[in-house]
Amino acid sequence: MEAVLAKYENQINVFSEYLEDLPDTDEPVWILGECYDVKTGKSELLSDVRSRLWFTYRKKFSPIGGTGPSSDTGWGCMLRCGQMILAQALVCRHLGREWRWVAEGTQPVEYQRILHCFLDRKDSCYSIHQMAQMGVGEGKSVGEWYGPNTVAQVLKKLALFDDWNSLAVYVSMDNTVVIEDISKCLDESLSGQRQAPCPLSHFHATSQHPLDWRPLLLLIPLRMGINDINPVYIQALKECFKMPQSCGVLGGKPNLAYYFIGFVDDELIYLDPHTTQLAVDSETGSTVDDQSYHCQRNPRRMKITSLDPSVALGFFCKSEEDFDSWCNLVQQEILKKRNLRMFELVEKHPSHWPPFITPTKPEVQTTGAVMFCFHFISPYTALYLL
């Protein structure tokens, strides 16, 4: 009966996509920093969307914590969106923004390694198991619905166990990105290579200590209104999708999470995790059947004004030059042009704030089972930690 219901649900989703073809418009379509003309570049646009890793509800995976749920249907949508925004950062990190997925095609080894990080197994770095159990430390029980900020905090903690991707994750607070704190995050990730933090060159061009850069995922949780999004923020939100560093936005509607990847006119374009699929059974190091990890239908859209005001913006800076460029774009498009700013970008840690705590591997709390994290030694070998 469960299989019949899942098949019926998927058929409904497929049918709804046929009703949501892209509009015939002269307005540009922006997807994660890339601009498309629907009339002349629709195939390229759809190829770009299909190439994004798509994580949805899954069922029949091993019980979380040994005795917990074996499906995340109904509660894991924001966790799946968190997986998507992180996966986009990893794709940019290893394959580049220009990489495109081809069904049945041969993919780079790094692509398979990225997929293995998200399999629904307790020993995958960013699996639903790891995210749900790490969420216990954020006050969330396994099976409880998450908001954008909580997912951002979980990703920040899990990234500390991931040696292969070597990703620094910075989560802003109080709508403020602090350059000094980002510098400390990067310095901690390279501890042992130098004795003191090195400032970022965007604000300290005369620094005599060059920064050893680590790929950086910036997550900026925001509340852009009380019950609905304040219209004054809409143009700034659009500008974020235009930035080459854009990794998308976590958000949605109350208790319905979506991964937003762009916009056209007054509509947001998103990937929807609310489709239940069977968990993919793949041994560590083996090739993953990836057909169900790419949405091969037309992307969904919703009015920007329907967006819940609680979101988290994502940006990926592979190099220090990327970060410098992002800072300049924020200054020009977010800070100087807006009377009511979406967020702030400051150099120094505010004096009235508590001291910044450099991220370190947390004490792991689980629901009765040992928590495993791994990184790849080679494409076919995994080392289990903890």
Report the distance separating Cα 266 and Cα 238, nearest Å.
Answer: 9
274 is catalytic: yes
Report the distance separating Cα 29 and Cα 132, nearest Å.
Answer: 34
DSSP state letter for 347: S
> Length of the chain, please?
386
Identity of the amino acid at 126: Y
Residues near 97 by Cβ (< 8 Å), separated by ≥ 6? 32, 33, 34, 91, 244
Q: Which residue in 163, 298, 313, 180 sits closest to 241, CA to CA?
A: 313
117 is catalytic: no
Report the distance separating Cα 241 and Cα 32, nearest Å.
Answer: 5
Report the distance separating Cα 121 and Cα 361, nearest Å.
Answer: 21
Give me the catalytic one of 272, 308, 322, 327: 272
DSSP state letter for 222: E
Q: Are 240 and 81 in contact (CB under 8 A)?
A: no
3-class secondary structure, 80: helix
Q: For residue 36, what are its two tokens?
A: 């498309």
3-class secondary structure, 369: coil
Q: Look up tokens 């081809």; give the residue.
A: 102
Give me the catalytic one of 37, 163, 274, 281: 274
77 is catalytic: yes
Q: For residue 68, what are its two tokens?
A: 């917990």
DSSP secondary structure letters along 141-190: -TT----HHHHHHHHHHHHTT-TTT--EEEE-BTTEEEHHHHHHHHHHHT
Phi-psi region of 170 (alpha: psi -120 to 50; beta: other; left: phi over 0): beta
Residues near 378 by Cβ (< 8 Å), separated by ≥ 6? 285
Q: For residue 111, what are its two tokens?
A: 């692509």
Q: For residue 204, what are its two tokens?
A: 């300290």
Identity of the amino acid at 212: D
Give me the catalytic one of 77, 117, 125, 247: 77
Identity of the amino acid at 57: Y
Q: Which residues are catalytic?
A: 77, 272, 274
